[in-house]
């Protein structure tokens, strides 16, 4: 590669890194907003008398990190049934929710309080321990 080609590659990398840093540091416009994410099936929705906190995972069933999240989400759904609603939305099959909620990467987990307001969102793989720890950190008791 000649000298001008190397300079172009380095310039591109520097600009890309700068863009990523700006996006990461910008305040997320969705945090604190009410999210009305519909349940995807009768099996996934939990009849309840009071509103529950919700964990909404937006991903795709063919995405590797999303596949890694699937058993974790199912385990949390099963263990915390009646105390936490867990929903998975495949944004490759149904891209509208991804656009609606400003998803930039998958998987994205959105933590929604009982009042319907977004409390936090995370992009990428998130372990069960980290998910439960984040609920505690947010002051939402799901035990």
Instruction: Name the active-site residue from 35, 46, 63, 132.
Output: 63
Does residue 79 have an active-site annotation?
no
Q: Are 97 and 133 contained in the same domain? A: yes
pLDDT at 2: 77
Q: Are 50 and 8 contained in the same domain? A: no
Confidence at 5, pLDDT banded by 50, 70, 90: low
Q: Is residue 142 part of a domain?
A: no
Instruction: Name the active-site residue from 37, 58, 66, 89.
Output: 66
pLDDT at 3: 73
pLDDT tens for residues 81-126? 999 999 999 999 999 999 998 999 999 999 999 999 999 999 999 9
- CATH classification at residue 40: 3.40.30.10
Q: Which residues of 37-54 are buried (b: 16+ CB within 10 A; e: fewer)?
A: beeeeeeeebeeeeebbb
Does residue 116 have an active-site annotation?
no
pLDDT at 10: 54
Q: Is the pLDDT confidence value at 8 over 80?
A: no
Q: Are 84 and 133 contained in the same domain? A: yes
Enclosing domain of residue 8: 1-30
Q: Is residue 107 part of a domain?
A: yes
């Amino acid at each position: 590669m000649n000298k001008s080609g190397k300079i172009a590659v380095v310039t591109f990398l520097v600009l890309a890194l700068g863009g990523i840093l700006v996006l990461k540091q910008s305040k997320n416009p969705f945090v604190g907003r009410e999210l009305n994410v519909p349940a995807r099936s009768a099996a996934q929705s939990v009849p309840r008398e009071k509103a529950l906190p919700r964990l909404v995972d937006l991903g795709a069933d063919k995405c590797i990190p999303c596949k890694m999240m699937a058993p974790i989400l199912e385990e949390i759904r099963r263990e915390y049934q009646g105390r936490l609603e867990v929903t998975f939305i495949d944004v490759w099959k149904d891209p509208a929710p991804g656009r609606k909620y400003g998803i930039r990467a998958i998987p994205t987990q959105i933590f929604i309080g009982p009042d319907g307001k977004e409390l936090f969102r995370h992009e990428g793989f998130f372990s069960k321990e980290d998910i439960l720890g984040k609920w505690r950190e947010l002051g939402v008791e799901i035990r």
